[in-house]
Amino acid sequence: MELPDYAIEAKGLVKTYAATKTTPEMRALRGVDLAIPRGSIFGLLGPNGAGKSTFINILAGLCQKTSGTVSIWGRDIDSRPRDARAAIGVVPQEIAADPFFTPFEALEVAAGMYAVPKSERRTMELLNALGIGDKAGAYVRQLSGGMKRRLMVAKAMVHNPPVLILDEPTAGVDVELRRQLWAYVLELNRKGVTIVLTTHYLEEAQELCDQIAIVNRGQVVACEPTTTLLSRMDTRKVLVTPDEPMTAAPALAGFETALLASGGFSVMYRTGQSTVEQVLAAIRAAGLHIKDISTEDPDLEDVFVSLTYAAPEEVGV
């Protein structure tokens, strides 16, 4: 069977929640077009209420779209719903596991629901891969929050789906668990699994994702390779350490400056209008002597804020 170019493809996707007695009609998704390349680690970012959860719920079959088309692994969710659902594993934000089951039992039940034959189940393999094999016989209620989070990832992988959706997978977990979880996810990606990630840790998305889509108020406002997205910002920052600590930022003609906690100062400039040499010339013209200097490029947070900051209107879920 020929593999699809896109793991997930949405065209003109709209979701409108009908008005109730207490709430007006709400458009959560407004004509979303999104193509997630097969084999990528894809970031889906946006502020709270942007529509990310609605999009994921439509993929998972938990929410009915209003209009538009969606395919998962080349399988249309309307004409081939069971096949489409079988192609994804979803790790939700909320931990949902029966507290009276053991991790082993929880995975066996999940595998049974996907009709995975007993001879093909990988229950202990998954538990060991996620570092909770020694807890296979303990009750879920006895596990720590971090262990329950790992169990949710294992449950999403019982049917060996080619697409894994991680919805805020590292929210509220410690650094060590985050490191272990990403090591496993990266290994899955190396084996060909497409990873779709939503996170509020923007540095995480910047480091891990090949491509990022930013959603705001139900619309995709950017969808580009991470490096291209970062290059959108034409501002740069020069960090200056003078010979003597300063108590106020100097006034430099044509540049915005700010005092740093270290006693140095920063200078902002636009790459299309100025150069570092011009910044240095302005500093020298002010009679300042430089002890050290460094430059700071914009990060994903800068891009995110520039694309999503707007007065509130209608929002999604």
Same domain, 59 and 174: yes
Residue type, 136: A
Q: 4: which DSSP letter?
A: P
Name the stretches of the chain with pLDDT < 50: 311-315
120-152: pLDDT as tens digits:
999 999 999 888 999 999 999 999 888 898 899
Token output for 67: 């209009």
Same domain, 19 and 80: yes
* Greatest C-alpha distance within the chain: 78
pLDDT score of 1: 64
Residue 270 burial class via C-beta count within 10 angstroms: exposed 0-12, middle 13-18, buried 19 and up: exposed
The answer to the question of residue 66 being in a domain is: yes
Cβ atoms of 123 and 103 within 8 Å: the answer is no
244-296: pLDDT as tens digits:
899 999 999 889 899 998 899 999 888 777 888 899 999 999 999 999 999 88
- Residue 11's domain is classified under what CATH number? 3.40.50.300
Same domain, 172 and 66: yes
pTM: 0.79
Q: 315: which DSSP letter?
A: -
Same domain, 172 and 219: yes
Same domain, 81 and 182: yes
